[in-house]
Structure formats: C-alpha cells, structure tokens
Amino acid sequence: MSRINMNIEHVPDASQQTLKQIHAAFGATPNMFRTVANSPAALKSMWGAFGALGGGAIDPKLGEQIAVAIANRNRCEYCLAAHTMLGKKAGASAEEMAAAQAGRAAEPKTAAALAFALKVVNERAQVSAADISALREAGFNDEHIVEIMAHVALNLFTNYVNVAFDVPLDFPAVALSN
C-alpha cells in the first residue's frame, strides 16, 4: 500500500484536469499519477515533461530504453514494469528491453546513450568531456545530449516517487536484474 494518498477524490481540485488528460491517454489512471496528484504542481510538471520528451528529438524507443536502465539501477519495480510495456509499444523487442535494463544494446548509438545515462546516475552527473565526446561520436548532437539528461532527470524523479512512497504496481511485473 502506498505511503501517500492515492485516492483521486482526495487530491486537490487543481490536479483534476491533468488527471483527466492522463486517464484519457492511458485508459486508466496509473497509481504513480494518483500519488503525484497530491501536488498539482508536481503532477503538472511530471505530465508536461512526459509530453515534451515524448515529442522530442530522442526516439520514444530510446527514451524507454533509458527509462528501464535507470529504473533497474534504482531498483524501481514500478518504472521498470511501466517502461518495459511502453518500450514494447514504441517498437522495442522484449530482448531489446531486457538488454536495456542491463544497460546494454546491440546498436552502438543506443549503447552509448545507455552508458552515458547510467554514468550520470551512478556518478551523480560527474561526467567528463570524454563522455560527451563519446555521445557525439556515436551520432548525438547537443540537442540529443541535453534531452538524454532530461530523460535521466525525469526518470530519477519518477523512480524516487515510486520507491519512497511504495506505489503499488499496476503494470505487468518485470524482474529486476543485478
């Protein structure tokens, strides 16, 4: 059971319009959004970030691969389950999502993005000029590099919400890997 209210009848009225958009997009209101809805500002920020990044320069499939790598690193079962499902909807195979969960990819450009994202998480953003150069050599430009960082930041927030508040899973479970 979540450590924070998930009953959308007991969240501020200012969250209701965003919750309607989320419900329309998913056909339901996932538990993570129910939890974050306790803060209209946090909900609006999170939902806006998902929308902005979903239409950004980074392909949605890569965005989901980054998300599962970070979720696995942070041991967030909720995000791992949700983003594995979303990754498959974005065109990734089960094998690609499992590899991404472990921070790997057969495609060099994806592998470079995953390595960078995990280094940002593991080293608390203490990356080097060589790390940025490696992304450029893999084919990313500055827009992509900043967007990868935005994906990292959004996923850190959602991982921390789900882990800290013990948000119950409402997507098909995916086992964490070591």
Distance CA 40, CA 83 (A): 23
Q: Which residue has the tokens 């089960």?
A: 94
Residue 68's identity, in one-letter code, is V
Q: Which structural domains are found in the chain, ordered by start? A: 11-54 (no CATH), 60-164 (1.20.1290.10)
Q: Token digits for 21?
A: 């958009």
Q: Against a cut of 0.95, is the pTM above it?
A: yes
Q: pLDDT 10s per residue in the chain (178 long)?
A: 889 999 999 999 999 999 999 999 999 999 999 999 999 999 999 999 999 999 999 999 999 999 999 999 999 999 999 999 999 999 999 999 999 999 999 999 999 999 999 999 999 999 999 999 999 999 999 999 999 999 999 999 999 999 999 999 999 999 999 8
Nearest to 4 by CA among 153, 162, 154, 158: 162
